[in-house]
């Protein structure tokens, strides 16, 4: 890190900021965390490693791989908050539950099912609610579809 002219404290702050900027799952990185990574005392988790490599690549203006910093056997995976944040509302604007079809539903089962569900942007309409291929309304839910459908 010395060749990049950044302290452990500065690198940790940049990692936290990068996670927030890229809408990734937040990380609790400190200068002590960086010191343990560098000494080999601790290994970063895949998500933290992805953020670390991103920050180092930006600082050095060249791509960094896990092997470049001593972790050749680690997979790199950035975890985003998209699946948690991008989800249609459980109740329609008329107050009808999308899971049981009842108006004003407060069922714990429906709430739990909704929280467990994973959603992605509809590939047919790209979130616009209109399928432009045939000019008809799309069959998605507020521009989203359940993942795997």
Q: What are phi and psi of 97, to 5 degrees?
A: -70, 135
Judged on CB neighbours under 10 Å (0-12, 13-18, 19+), 36 is middle
Q: Span 96-123, mean pLDDT?
A: 88
Band (pLDDT 50/70/90 cuts) for residue 149 is very low
Q: Span 88-104, mean pLDDT?
A: 92
Mean pLDDT score of the chain: 81
Note whether 137 and 79 are within 8 A (CB).
no
Question: Is the pLDDT reported for residue 114 higher than 70?
Answer: yes
Higher per-residue pLDDT: 67 or 124: 67
Three-class secondary structure assignment of 96-134: EECCCCCECCCCHHHHHHHHHCCEEECCCCCCCCEECCC
Band (pLDDT 50/70/90 cuts) for residue 84 is very low
- Kindly list the domain boundaries of the chain, sorted by start residue: 2-69, 83-146
Higher per-residue pLDDT: 109 or 121: 109
The residue among 15, 20, 80 whose CA lies nearest residue 49 is: 15
What pTM does this model have?
0.52
Model confidence pLDDT, tens digit, residues 14-68 = 988 887 777 666 677 889 888 888 888 888 888 888 889 989 988 888 888 888 8
């Amino acid at each position: 890190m010395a060749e990049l002219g950044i302290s452990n404290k500065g690198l940790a702050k940049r990692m936290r900021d990068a996670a927030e900027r890229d809408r990734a799952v937040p990380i609790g990185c400190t200068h002590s965390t960086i010191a343990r990574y560098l000494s080999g005392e601790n290994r970063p988790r895949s998500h933290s490693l992805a953020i670390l490599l991103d920050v180092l690549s930006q600082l050095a203006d060249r791509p960094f791989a896990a092997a470049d910093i001593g972790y050749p056997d680690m997979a790199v995976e950035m975890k985003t908050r998209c699946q948690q944040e991008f989800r249609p509302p459980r109740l329609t604007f008329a107050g009808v539950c999308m899971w049981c079809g009842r108006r004003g539903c407060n069922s714990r089962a429906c709430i739990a099912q909704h929280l467990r569900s994973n959603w992605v942007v509809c590939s047919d309409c790209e979130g616009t609610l209109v399928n432009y291929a045939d000019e008809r309304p799309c069959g998605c839910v507020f521009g989203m579809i359940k993942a795997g459908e």
